[in-house]
Structure 1
Amino acid sequence: MKKIILSLAVIGILFSCGKTTKEETTTKTETQVVIEEVLPPVNDVMMENAVIYEANIRQYSEEGTFSAFTKDIPVLKKLGVKVLWIMPIYPISTTKSKGSLGSYYAVSDYTKVNPEFGTIEDFRALVKTAHDNGIYVILDWVANHTGWDHVWLKEHPEYYTKDKNGAITHTEGTDWTDVADLNYDNQEMREQMKNDMLYWLKEEGVDGFRCDVAGMVPVDFWDRTVAEFKKIKPVFMLAEGWEPELLENAFDIGYGWDTHHKMNDIAQGKANVAEWDKRMTQIDTMYAKDDILMNFTSNHDENSWNGTVEERMGEAKEMFAALTYLAPGMPLIYSGQEYDMDKRLLFFEKDTIIKKQGKFFPLYEKLGALKNTNPALHGGKNAASYTRIKTSNDTNVLAFLREKDGHKVVFIANMTKQPITFTLAYEGKFTDYLSGETIEASSDAAYEFAAWQYQILIEE
């Protein structure tokens, strides 16, 4: 195992790849000890069966702190979570801020933590606990803009985009008036941005980044910066973007936005299975075989601005949750989804998630176990195959086979709000994963599915 040197002042809470140098974050001592790393470096194997969890620290608990969230990390492990994406943890600008607490994405200092959430020691304890539970930690990084309180505004105004009158502006074409747009023509700013990211990798032991509006930042910045990261250690990079060029070098995984939109449309009766099939074909033509897309029914943007899963998907929400695990790619759980959350979380105010188990916690637990253990659901750089299975009603019934290394999983779903009867051009003996029943499938058998009913079949 890789050995790491740590100061005694932070032993037990610090999990990092180096000794912290920031005076405000630790106390130096001459005495040192050696501990062993408990989590292997990021690798292609972990990407095959990973589940991502988006952590909204402010809203996750009544306290809204790192420490309160850390207590529940073993619970997330039960859901099969392998990657913990933490929404921005940095101090929030108050100048031009929105609401009483402001936006996580209006950063005033890239190398400090928001005191609202706790201390740097509390964050280190979170990282160590995640690593102890076999979970990688990626930080939400906001590279396109800063808050109006950021020190760069005073010390380096040349880092920012300016209008014709020489005034620093917010990002053009947006209503993001609480942030100042960064100018990537400035090479010194690029270097400082890279160094601030390196701080979290080298000093605080994080495993990568989820990069906000990644497509609005020049691709060559990401390519060069991530190449520097990889000289230090392997990293996991998630782009909030769909552009294929982002995935060519810098990023491992991007957003499956169009997949998500197709699911919403089907749930609302605006599209049918034919549109899903077109999307699968589009993915094959747009992306390389080793590109990964993140599948989701919600995230912080969707929840706060476009509505809850219940609002957008209604009675189809459980079926589509399962589909995010069964379809090619990597599934995401947003904070509160495991507790059947049915409210739009306020974005600029405190709005606590109620953690009471209902239908979705055991469902995510089962889906996570299947994703973690069955090669037929591999969705990384060496993904399992996806083969459409023909039915007698391909307009309304989705059926497909995932297969790898002799393992086979079949997904069947009625993608309408009406009961339906159909036949399936596939034969074999299966175990219904959710019910445990044995099923003999034949091409001449008639299947009757209720509205939005689905099955996950493990071939024996």
Structure 2
Amino acid sequence: MCRFLFFIAAFLLATSPTLFSQQLVERMEPPNWWVGMASEDLEIMLYGKNIGAYEVRLEKYEGVVLKEVKRVQNNNYVFLNLTLAPQTAPGNLTITLNSKKEAPKHLSYPLLPREGTNKNTVGFSSADVVFLITPDRFVNGDTSNDNVNGFEDKVNRKDKGGRHGGDVQGIINHLDYISDMGFTSLWITPMLENAMPKNSYHGYAITDFYKVDPRFGSKDLYRSMVKKANEKGLTVIMDMVANHIGLNHWWMKDLPSQDWINQWPEYTETNHRKSIILDPYAAEEDRKIFFDGWFVRTMPDLNQKNPELATYLIQNAIWWIEYSGISGIRMDTYPYPDMEFMNDWSAAISKEYPLFTIVGEEWSTNPNQVAYWQEGKENYNGYKSHLKSVMDFPLQNALVNSLNNEKSWASSWIELYETLAQDYVYANPNNLMIFSDNHDMSRMYTQLNENYDLYKLALVYLATTRGIPQIYYGTEILKTNPGSDDHGIIRSDFPGGWQKDKVNAFTGHGMSLKQKDAQEFVKKLLNWRKSTTVIHSGSLKHFAPKNKEEVYVFFRYNNQKKIMVILNKNTEDVLLDLTTYREILGESLSGREVLNNVRINAVSKLSVKARNAMIIEVE
């Protein structure tokens, strides 16, 4: 056995429960399906000891046809390929397993009626502001599920990489806080089962695609959370992973086939060279290592070229949408899986839910690499994506750099200005997800060296420029990670989410005056944005920052309204000559400054305070 497979075998021997139960069929996935779906195809995976030796037939059911019984390398798996005619009625399919040695066995498979509103689910858009939560670190709403029998990773709040106890109930209990702050959508990092021996809290090493981790709650409670969030005006974005699984995934104990994962003679990690995708000179070996290499040793890389696995992953995403009522998906590491599979995956979801939104993570500061993945982009190699939204890492990077850079012969705003000026490479810039920070990078307040004035400039920009803003939990109360970029510290507990916390950000108890001010600032800004539709979809015009000047001005406008945004990074007040902006303002400026609720009456010059932002509703 090669060293790589020996490593897997040794790990599983130490961590796995008994391989098989006594019942014939241990798993049937997806656990149910719905009639009336846009696609008539359905693949059912049956798993059980030697199930491949049984004859499988489908008892007569009007509108349902068993097209193929596919047996694979591992005799413990059978894949059933069915078609469901549009007129098929809900009910229970009967699947019969025959053997010469024993009596027939009958399986009941539910076909459920589809809720009429699901196919018209409207995804998130530039009208939304997204609140990103790492659930283990947000609120512990149910202490009874902190530790669960059979799961090694126990709650230990003193361990930065350990589980801390946050859960679904904690989110439910604080939906009012999220809504009152002005957020309209929730992106929650993965909550599916992560039965890993350590560092399981983050959720990205999935061990069961159809099960919410019991330390978070149940899938029914998750569905209830989505419904309650919707009732409060919040949509929910589910974080999914198609590139890899956790090493303790039940598949790894008994793979359907050797090509279910990308195998190597010895452990090979991805090179993370995403530029390979666009590189006309890239070596095939480098491409293979990028796509097929493992993310880390504990996360086996899935081979989406395997047709049964590809269908499994597509159906799993659709199952969660239909079952839970989520309004969006954030797909982790979008460029890493097989490219054609990701196209098929996103296209299949769009076919079922035309108004649904998927955002893909492409961590690159090069706009050309990010633009490659967005739907509507005409790529040099003919690749046509079906992905509506991509995360705008270039803009986040430029914003932080512009705020931190010192003034030289040119304005320090130039990097941000020129990054936005490259929006011509995107098919739809307004569908990009822009963000202050996220769970994989230092807190924004830390990135800005805990400069409160720069923090407010950044938030004003994010709330008023094009795109879909996303803010990480705790950013609204100045969370930091000083002296460390350890993810466990970046994803530290939200104060007040645990009983006996000395600081409670939900009530204000124990918070500093600056934290309270930041929280109120964010609340005012986002609630104003919520009802200001010109920010959601209006045109954008920005003016090049003048050399040696530290002022950046842009406008959002449509036929009904104009918004002027002024960002002054100078350490002193500035008297702004408005004649520069006459093409959109005319000869003078009148309106209301939003942040301080101050009237402005027919001025040609405007005093802007040092390190200050102004948002003006122009009249």
Q: Same fold (TM over 0.5)?
A: yes
Matched-pair contact (CA < 8 Å) for 2:398–2:415: yes
Structure 1 pair 117–102 and aligned structure 2 pair: CA distance change class (3 A)? closer
SS at 1:457's partner residue? strand
SS at 1:303's partner residue? coil
TM-score, length-scaled by structure 1: 0.82
CA distance in 1 between counterparts of 2:557 and 2:91 reads 46
- Residue 370 of structure 1, CA deviation: 2.6
Match of 1:91 in 2: 193
- 1:455 maps onto 2:575 in alignment: no
- 1:238 maps onto 2:354 in alignment: no
| Deviations, residues 20-53 of structure 1 (Å, cap 9, x unaligned) | 99xxxxxx9x9x999996997216xx62411111
CA distance in 1 between counterparts of 2:216 and 2:428 reads 40
CA distance in 2 between counterparts of 1:83 and 1:117 reads 20
- 1:278 maps onto 2:418 in alignment: yes
Match of 1:433 in 2: 594
Match of 1:335 in 2: 473
Task: Point out the structure with max Rg over C-alpha.
Answer: 2
CA distance in 2 between counterparts of 1:37 and 1:58 reads 31
The aligned amino acid for 1:81 is: F
Match of 1:191 in 2: 311
Match of 1:10 in 2: none
Match of 1:258 in 2: 394
- Residue 127 of structure 1, CA deviation: 0.9
| Deviations, residues 43-92 of structure 1 (Å, cap 9, x unaligned) | 6xx62411111121110114511111111112212233222111000111
CA distance in 1 between counterparts of 2:269 and 2:201 reads 16
TM-score, length-scaled by structure 2: 0.62
CA distance in 1 between counterparts of 2:317 and 2:563 reads 40
- Residue 359 of structure 1, CA deviation: 2.0
Match of 1:162 in 2: 263
| Deviations, residues 306-361 of structure 1 (Å, cap 9, x unaligned) | 98355376540111011101111111121112233234796458842114251232
349, 352, 358: which one aligns with 2:493? 352
Identity of aligned residues (%): 20
CA distance in 2 between counterparts of 1:290 and 1:274 reads 19
RCO (CA 8 Å, sep 6+): is it higher in 1 or 2? 1
Match of 1:409 in 2: 563
CA distance in 2 between counterparts of 1:455 and 1:51 reads 20
SS at 2:263's partner residue? coil
- Residue 192 of structure 1, CA deviation: 1.3
Match of 1:366 in 2: 524
Match of 1:12 in 2: none
CA distance in 1 between counterparts of 2:262 and 2:220 reads 35
Match of 2:215 in 1: 116
Match of 1:42 in 2: 122
CA distance in 1 between counterparts of 2:120 and 2:231 reads 11
Matched-pair contact (CA < 8 Å) for 1:420–1:449: yes
Structure 1 pair 38–369 and aligned structure 2 pair: CA distance change class (3 A)? farther
Matched-pair contact (CA < 8 Å) for 2:550–2:568: yes
Match of 2:554 in 1: 400
Structure 1 pair 236–20 and aligned structure 2 pair: CA distance change class (3 A)? farther
**Structure 2 unaligned spans of 5+:** 1-33, 36-88, 93-107, 142-165, 273-293, 363-368, 376-384, 496-503, 509-515, 582-587
Which deviates more from structure 2 when the two are superposed, residues 244-253 or residues 126-135? 244-253
Which deviates more from structure 2 when the two are superposed, residues 150-159 or residues 209-218? 150-159
Structure 1 pair 307–109 and aligned structure 2 pair: CA distance change class (3 A)? farther
SS at 2:125's partner residue? helix
Matched-pair contact (CA < 8 Å) for 2:556–2:564: yes
Equivalent runs, 1:300-339 vs 2, <5 Å: 300-303=439-442, 308-309=446-447, 311=449, 315-339=453-477
CA distance in 2 between counterparts of 1:19 and 1:435 reads 58
CA distance in 2 between counterparts of 1:206 and 1:448 reads 43
The number of residues matched between the two structures is: 422
- Residue 208 of structure 1, CA deviation: 2.5
Matched-pair contact (CA < 8 Å) for 2:429–2:467: no
Match of 1:247 in 2: 374
Which deviates more from structure 2 when the two are superposed, residues 295-304 or residues 259-268? 295-304
CA distance in 2 between counterparts of 1:19 and 1:207 reads 24
Structure 1 pair 453–317 and aligned structure 2 pair: CA distance change class (3 A)? same
CA distance in 1 between counterparts of 2:598 and 2:416 reads 28
| Deviations, residues 86-119 of structure 1 (Å, cap 9, x unaligned) | 1000111425x5x4x4542111111111122112
Matched-pair contact (CA < 8 Å) for 1:52–1:85: yes
- Residue 393 of structure 1, CA deviation: 5.8
